[in-house]
Amino acid sequence: MDHAADAHRTDLMTITRYVLNEQSKHPESRGDFTILLSHIVLGCKFVCTAVNKAGLAKLIGLAGETNVQGEEQKKLDVLSNEVFIKALVSSGRTCILVSEEDEEATFVEPALRGKYCVVFDPLDGSSNIDCGVSIGTIFGIYAIKDGVDPKIEDVLQPGKNMVAAGYCMYGSSCTLVLSTGKGVNGFTLDPSLGEFILTHPDIKIPKKGKIYSVNEGNAKNWDGPTAKYVEKCKYPQDGLPAKSLRYIGSMVADVHRTLLYGGIFLYPADKKSPNGKLRVLYEVFPMSYLMEQAGGQAFTGKQRALDLLPTKIHERSPIFLGSYDDVEEIKALYAAEGQK
């Protein structure tokens, strides 16, 4: 009998155990973050179950509303938003919540208030629900000072001030990827245990990748540097092989692949959308945070993405993120354009 393998199988590092271990390194910690995270994990498990059952439960389909971005809301979006709002408020550890689905930020009532602000997209990629493509929840967390009244400026902060960020992907498996500012770890839900188990410790993105990921349907409206970069991916001049194109159209799935396999994901500005499509607070920032923590980079076309100072909670920004060397190339193209 292989006792070593057996021990490996039976000594499971659950996400709660992992976070408690981290907490024990900070004796002054009161466990507030651990409690908040356990409520986020509960939300993810709930949404995972709902996504898996959606076809059977007839949850797929329009709920007859449009959200603040003018997009059609699906029933699963509505449900996921409710689940996360309730899970976060009931944690007693949050003070401001910003959701992609809600026009205004939610200020938690004083009796239930804690120090954390959570920005999130409860179900990103929802136009993919009907065809069973992977979708996910994206979240970022800021902290306010103890005893201070929360105000909207507490969430209108650069992404570099986040204390944690992550996503949960509802795909062939349910995977939660998390960073608390000390690297990136991936946990996979074991449905029989109902627990997220550490399966991808200390994720590092390859320094250079072989994949580029972009909606090429927008190519006619791209600016010079983006067009040049994609041309270089297809027809490299330096004798290197061309890169492969992979694009799912679901940010969590495209970023997850980029994180594990390397390469670059881009949602650039174009003539029709000068600020791109993706939302700063709950798409660009959390994914940029994870990329940097994994050794990659995230760039807006003008600056480091995590240095952006948002002025509105639903603000958008162009984004180029992924392997260090690949993002370096696009930065060089924008720098050259700026010198013209």
Q: What is the 3-state secondary structure (H, E, C) of the chain?
A: CCHHHHHHHHCCCEHHHHHHHHHHCCCCCCCHHHHHHHHHHHHHHHHHHHHHHHHHHCCCCEEEEECCCCCEEEHHHHHHHHHHHHHHHHCCCEEEEEECCCCCCEECCHHHEEEEEEEEEEEECHHHHHHCCCEEEEEEEEECCCCCCCCHHHCCCCHHHCCEEEEEEECCCEEEEEECCCCCEEEEEECCCCEEEEEECCCCCCCCCCEEECCHHHHHHECHHHHHHHHHHHCCCCCCCCCEECCCCCHHHHHHHHHHHCCEEEECCECCCCCCCCEHHHHHHHHHHHHHHCCCEEECCCCEHHHCCCCCCCCECCEEEECHHHHHHHHHHHHHHHCC
Q: Does 127 bind ligand AFP (CB under 6 A)?
A: yes
Q: Does 251 bind ligand AFP (CB under 6 A)?
A: yes
Binder among 215, 246, 329, 337 for ligand AFP (CB under 6 A) = 215
191/274 with CB nearer ligand AFP: 274
Q: How far is the CB of 318 from ligand AFP (least distance, A)?
A: 12
Assigned token pair, 152:
């909207």
Q: How far is CA 235 from CA 217, 230, 329, 333, in A?
A: 18, 9, 15, 16
Q: Does 134 bind ligand AFP (CB under 6 A)?
A: no
Q: How far is the CB of 76 from ligand AFP (least distance, A)?
A: 11
Q: Does 213 bind ligand AFP (CB under 6 A)?
A: no
Q: How far is the CB of 298 from ligand AFP (least distance, A)?
A: 14
Q: Does 73 bind ligand AFP (CB under 6 A)?
A: no
Q: Does 32 bind ligand AFP (CB under 6 A)?
A: no
Q: Which stretch binds ligand AFP (CB under 6 A): 124-132, 171-179, 198-206, 291-299?
A: 124-132
Q: Does 157 bind ligand AFP (CB under 6 A)?
A: no
123/156 with CB nearer ligand AFP: 123
Q: How far is the CB of 248 from ligand AFP (least distance, A)?
A: 8
Q: How far is the CB of 62 from ligand AFP (least distance, A)?
A: 13
Q: Which stretch binds ligand AFP (CB under 6 A): 58-66, 87-95, 118-126, 196-204?
A: 118-126
Binder among 45, 93, 277, 314 for ligand AFP (CB under 6 A) = 277
Q: Does 80 bind ligand AFP (CB under 6 A)?
A: no
Q: How far is the CB of 277 from ligand AFP (least distance, A)?
A: 5
225/276 with CB nearer ligand AFP: 276
Binder among 31, 61, 201, 249 for ligand AFP (CB under 6 A) = 249
Distance between CA atoms of residues 133 and 112, nearest Å: 36
Distance between CA atoms of residues 210 and 104, nearest Å: 40
Q: Does 256 bind ligand AFP (CB under 6 A)?
A: no
73/323 with CB nearer ligand AFP: 73
Contacts with ligand AFP by CB under 6 A lie at 71, 124-128, 215, 249-251, 254, 277-278
